[in-house]
A and B are shown apart, each in its own frame.
Chain A
């Protein structure tokens, strides 16, 4: 199968550490670790990156995303080593988007300035809310003022591409308090906003609070009101809604995230990192000790892999593509798979259009607003049997 932008590659680097685990978090991250542990991990990462060197010499890397966890928890010299390893092993496009994820209170002006010097050109800041009560409930380590301070520092260091993560449907949150947060966000003037609802995951502190009745889940009607009012407000303030949970000023869409939704290649490094290369999905070791041992013994970190079948490719192409507000292009689909989408899913598409979940605009097929609310339902229609 033909993959578009065959020579381009996105890189993801996972830093699984935080100062303190948030109450809602079930991601692969650890808190309460010291700098020596950070260092062993960084060295293992450098080794993993080095081992990939020869396999991708023909690729041009056009996005890098250092995510977590909280990558900004690492001392600058460690981050320098990791970034250095990336530069040594890959050909970086001169216009590449290079993002680091960070959390307020783990940043300083010097650190941010250091990122700039390393060639990082986009910072994603985990704000979540600008309301003290809500921040406390989420178990965030920062307050509203920390956010303002860090945003100022980021701007002062010369960053012109900033994302703020904002969460809604947080227990006890009111629509009005969300709108307050969004007003403040707009005043802060980021180029990009990630806007997503809290999901109560099992084995989190928040889930325990929920089970013991201390907090209640936001009902679906309020959840949807928050979502759509938030989206409309941000749209009114010149953000474009380009993906279910992402908005951006013109030309500031996150190129790395778009790779996930556009069926493009990406390579992940670090604990539990996922990759998609030439139609093959694979992911890394998720046990930290095993990860470190593998690195020590120069073993591969790949724990799981799956060569996509054509059916997998078709299903994934559609359900990832539908996350984009622009939808997916039926002509691109046909060029890629040598069969029209109608031939495979005509019946499903017609039903979904009739149910007002999908709509067709020119060559594009996309979710309606109702389709966004029920997107899992829509997307599951495009899963092909094995």
Chain B
């Protein structure tokens, strides 16, 4: 591969969910002949099932393409795909840092969305050249001019030369390729300087260990080089360098400005952290690249093996997931109610859901996840500060001086007509409004400060439900704030079930307690005795429901000697019992744990 730095173009695609990022990427790969179209799967870049189902990209994929432009030159295009969700903001920012430009894909029928805004601002912070592209122009509901105006007004990006395309129909894809060659600058960087490379992603496989995705900023790297990770200080010998075309293809070396991968017998993903700088161990660069930070989980929950599932299986699966996900943390914990399990930390709610789903689908495990929690800062009367992410560990009230909770800056974009009900929702979730911006005559962005613990319960579901799916949300941590928080406990048949405990604001305790009791009453089957369900703060019961005792469970008729029918019924009954968790005398179905978290439309 003998292209000089001058003809390399490193870029990413920014788009809202469903606006056509993956389809456009597929078309570009197809058009430049990197993959024969018969080998293409739908949406080549999204390779995880969950991502496909949700139509969002979480894990990055990178592709190198060759393009012969109208000016007669052959260009090297490195497409660096970015995740599309707020939970993965940091990963997004690091892949942006590997680029000189970004293609902004906007759906001609939808216009600019909150998620797009957040990522465009990130790209602007990295000084990327932004090339707007209007997609889905083939649809009858496309409003090209309006959307162009929107981009200019809200984002201040000139749309005069914006390609108008339909990624789905393969319309005007060439315009996009030309725009990349023409408008996105070539990578800078000093060939003769010591190696300086940015890690923007990595994955693990059993044979090669960790494969590091990197962008060479200065110098070059080849097989046999001894490299050093500047943040973790670890050194390795490079065993392979290569490009993704999009399949990994090894090359002799990676030069300044290029994007590729290297392997170096690295055992864990946490040893090659996203954002870290790679340099040569013997001839290091002076300064690491800016912007590295260790990602910190914001949301925690307990994950326990469900009845009949082995603890070891869950642990093995969590370990496997962690190898490929430096942002995911876990440690062993024990619950009185659920036995041995794990406390797991996630970047956000989506990240949590993805991990839970992968455990169930990819690893075929049956798990119970407890209520998500944020990290509270508890200042005790003796002046010490404890960080609490499991409600069970909250010190007794008498030892607490005050508690602080994380607050996020939330940007909520909604169609005009829903502003009232969303403001009501935010207020109900203890949000403090800063201001409201009109994007156009139809849409508004609401800027709120909100406690993260209100966001993680069911806020997103409520937002979607109240806006018929049109509302979008993005948030970032703002800081901590003192708050009047209490621990809400749930007692079944007078016995505390720690797995249901949660930390809530005092003003919400009553309604939350009532909701939980009502939900549990719905899902807990009747027993031979009455079961009181109580929600309490300390010793004070604030809500109560009762599951009435079962008086009759008998099948009188056995028709014509049909024993098998009766046996099936009894087998079903026994099977149902197996899926129950035993808390003292009370049997609770697994779904109780999710039922108390679900947003209820009727409420």
Q: Which residues of A contact B (CB under 8 A)?
A: 12, 14, 27, 67, 196-197, 199, 220-221, 223-224, 244-245, 259-260, 266, 268, 272-276, 281, 283, 306, 312, 315-316, 319-320, 323, 355, 357, 370, 372-377, 379-381, 383
Contacts and interface: CB of A to CB of B under 8 A. Distances in A.
Question: A-side binding surface: helix, strand, loop or mixed?
Answer: mixed
A108 to B, nearest CB: 26
Contact of A274 (B551, B557, B561, B570): B561
A377 B561 contact: no
Question: B-side binding surface: helix, strand, loop or mixed?
Answer: helix
A224 B557 contact: no
B567 A373 contact: no
Contacts of B562: 274, 283
Contact of A373 (B553, B557, B558): B553
Given A373-B552, A380-B573, A320 B528 contact: no
Given A27-B559, A316-B567, A383-B574, 5 more contacts: A244-B554, A260-B561, A281-B563, A320-B563, A376-B553
B550 interface: yes
A221 B560 contact: no
B560 A67 contact: yes
B569 A274 contact: no
Contacts of A283: 562, 564
Interface in B512-552: 528, 550-552
Contacts of B570: 315, 319, 376, 379-380, 383
Given A260-B558, A268-B561, A374-B528, A319 B567 contact: yes
B577 to A, nearest CB: 7
14 contacts: A67-B560, A245-B557, A260-B561, A272-B560, A273-B560, A283-B564, A372-B554, A373-B552, A374-B550, A377-B550, A380-B571, A380-B574, A381-B574, A383-B571
Nearest to A383: B574
A380 B577 CA distance: 9
B555 interface: yes
Contacts of A199: 555-557
Contact of B551 (A197, A273, A373): A373
Interface of B: 528, 550-564, 566-567, 569-571, 573-574, 577
B560 to A, nearest CB: 6
A196 B573 CA distance: 22
B167 to A, nearest CB: 49
A67 B552 CA distance: 28
Contact of B554 (A272, A274, A375): A375
A312 B558 CA distance: 18
Contacts of A273: 560
B553 A224 contact: no
Given A276-B561, A319-B567, A220 B551 contact: yes
A197 B560 contact: no
A90 B212 CA distance: 82
B442 to A, nearest CB: 44
Contacts of B566: 319
**The 5 residue pairs across chains A and B that have the minimum distance between CB atoms:** A196-B556, A220-B551, A380-B573, A380-B570, A245-B556
A380 B563 CA distance: 14
Contacts of A319: 566-567, 570
B563 A374 contact: no
B553 A375 contact: yes
Contacts of A12: 560-561
A377 B552 CA distance: 10
A12 B571 CA distance: 26
A196 to B, nearest CB: 4
Given A376-B569, A380-B570, A383-B574, A268 B551 contact: no
A376 B564 contact: no
Contacts of A372: 554
